[in-house]
Amino acid sequence: MSLAISHLARRFDTTQVLRGIDLTVGKGELIALLGPSGSGKTTLLRIIAGLDWPDAGALSFNGTDWLVKSAAERRIGFVFQHYALFPHMTVRDNIAFGLTVLPRADRPGKAQIAATVDRLLAFLQIDGLADRYPAELSGGQRQRVALGRAMAIEPRVLLLDEPFGALDAQVRRDLRRWLRGVHDSAGTTTIFVTHDQEEAFELADRVVVMNGGVIEQTGHPDEIYDHPATPFVARFLGLTVEVPVTIRSGRAQAAGLDLTALPRRALPDGPATLFLRPADIQPVPDPAAPFRVTEIASTGALLRIVAENAAACRIEAEMPRRQGRDLRKDQPVALRVIAGQIFPGGAAPADAAPVEAPKALKESRP
Ligand SMILES: Nc1ncnc2c1ncn2[C@@H]1O[C@H](COP(=O)(O)OP(=O)(O)OP(=O)(O)O)[C@@H](O)[C@H]1O
């Protein structure tokens, strides 16, 4: 274990921004903090960095209390979305900066600093930029330099706050892969803040989903994607279709829906809500089915279909356009559900208790 956070709370005036955060981050792990704006991600990162302090709770690194240590003593590397590189310094000098300001006793000699910077420039594949000034760099190149600067001091923990947030989509994707490679080679413990799901899922060993100052779920990206633990996580991860169902002997039932592909759940008989991704619903033409296609629209690659029944239950499905060739407006369709998540209760309140995945399912996960 390397970083341990327990019961961390932080309030600004009347706003409780963190409400009891518990999290451990292992050595060499890459963790993504994912959540909507205002969920407390940056506040948590600033507390870990020593730029802010909690009102309650504990933070330790390898058993040492970090709340009594200054930011410098913690030896953290920090990269922000808009990282202000020193404009009057070359890339080489920017990367060297953290080493040149270390207390005299810890400061390496000039030759050693130069060697460290050369090594980092090569490692980060930016050696061609060494003598340029920040104004002569693209946004993506600046963030590579910013990471180099954060890594020069050999940080115990690297903190990245939406480092690619200001860059365009293609550059973001390239940098994401580059960062994963850098992380794997360097083995630095890294915590990465993003509100971009794709970024979190592609990069992280573990994703921590935050909402309103609490952690809703922590887990491997696939586990979170396939088994969101709360209605909030389900909606946040695109399970936007909510259908009332009835549970009988662990099976969900709803008129006009084929739910046989869903595993049996350890839920009491009664009303529940099924959360679905539009891509996990297949409309199948069926003259006897209670649903009818009311809207059909193509986005080029995809076909979006809305189906409604007499009770005004409206379900949106999405599929590759070629798969939906047989579908027409006003056509009766049965809806086959491939995957979904069920939460007890009819109204699916945002704070409903998480449903335990069946034991066998959990154990079969990697
Ligand atoms: N210094 C401060 N004083 C008062 N309120 C603050 C302060 N810092 C943060 N907040 C409030 O705390 C809440 C959480 O902010 P935080 O920046 O941690 O969220 P976030 O999840 O990182 O959001 P974003 O994705 O928009 O950066 C917000 O409502 C914000 O307005």
Tokens of 79: 């990269």
**pLDDT, tens digit (0-9, with 9 covering 90-100), for 232-289:** 999 999 999 999 999 999 999 998 899 999 999 889 999 999 999 999 999 999 999 9
* Angle between helical axes of 139-151 and 110-123 (0-180°, round to 10): 130
C-alpha of residue 3 to centroid of ligand 1, in Å: 22
> 51 alpha carbon to ligand 1 midpoint, in Å?
14
Q: Residue 139 gets which letter from DSSP?
A: H
**C-alpha 233, offset from chain centre:** 11
40 CA closest ligand 1 atom index: 18
Residue with tokens 């009819």: 346
Closest Cα to atom 30 of ligand 1: 38
Ligand 1 atom closest to Cα of residue 210: 21
Inter-residue contact 315 to 245 (CB < 8 Å): no
Q: What is the DSSP letter of 128?
A: G
**238-345: which CATH number, 3.30.930.10, 3.20.20.60, 3.30.420.40, 2.40.50.100?**
2.40.50.100
d(CA 335, CA 354): 26
What percent of the chain stands above pLDDT 90?
63
- Is-contact 89 97, C-beta < 8 A? yes
Residues of the chain with CATH 2.40.50.100: 238-345
Residue nearest to atom 7 of ligand 1 (CA): 12
pLDDT band at 74 (very low <50, low <70, confident <90, very high): very high
Cα(110)–Cα(185) distance, rounded to whole angstroms?
A: 26
Report the nearest-CA residue for atom 13 of ligand 1.
38
Q: CATH 3.40.50.300 residue ranges in the chain?
A: 3-226
Q: Which pLDDT band holds residue 347 (cuts at 50, 70, 90)?
A: low
For the domain covering 3-226, report its CATH number: 3.40.50.300
Name residue 301's amino acid.
Answer: A
- Probe ligand 1: pick from 8, 15, 236, max atoms within 8 Å of CB? 15
Instruction: State the distance from the centre of ligand 1 to the C-alpha of 214, rounded, in angstroms.
Output: 13
CA 344 to ligand 1 center in whole angstroms: 32
Distance 171 CA to ligand 1 centre (A): 27
ipTM value for the complex: 0.95
Nearest-angstrom CA–CA distance, 208 and 201: 10
Q: CB within 6 Å of ligand 1 — which residues?
A: 12, 15, 17, 35, 37-43, 195
pTM of the predicted model over 0.80: yes
Q: How confident is the model at residue 98 (pLDDT cuts 50, 70, 90)?
A: confident
- Residue 365 has what pLDDT? 36
State residue 88's pLDDT score.
Answer: 95
**Which residues lie below 8 Å from residue 320, measured CB to CB, with a gap of 6+?**
301, 302, 303
Contacts of 226 (CB under 8 A, 6+ apart): 339
To the nearest whole number, what is the mean pLDDT of the chain? 88
CB 2 within 8 A of CB 63: no
| CA nearest ligand 1 atom 5, residue | 12
Ligand 1: which residue has its CA nearest to atom 17? 42
CA of 126 to the centre of ligand 1 (A): 33
Query: In whole angstroms, what is the distance from residue 125 CA to residue 127 CA?
Result: 6
pLDDT, tens digit (0-9, with 9 covering 90-100), for 167-187: 788 878 888 888 888 888 888
- pLDDT value of position 206: 97
Integer Cα distance of 23 and 9 in angstroms: 13
Q: What is the pLDDT of residues 317-335, one digit of tens each?
A: 999 998 888 899 999 999 9
Pocket test for ligand 1, best of 14, 18, 21, 42 (most atoms within 8 A of CB): 42
Written as one string, the DSSP assignment of 41-60 is HHHHHHHHHTSS--SEEEEE
pLDDT band per the 50, 70, 90 thresholds, residue 305: very high
Lowest mean pLDDT among 46-60, 133-147, 208-222: 133-147
Give me the pLDDT at residue 154, please. Answer: 85
Reference 332, options 286, 283, 282, 281; nearest CA is: 286
Tell me the best of 8, 10, 43 to mutate to test the pocket of ligand 1, counting ligand atoms within 8 Å of each CB and taking the most.
43
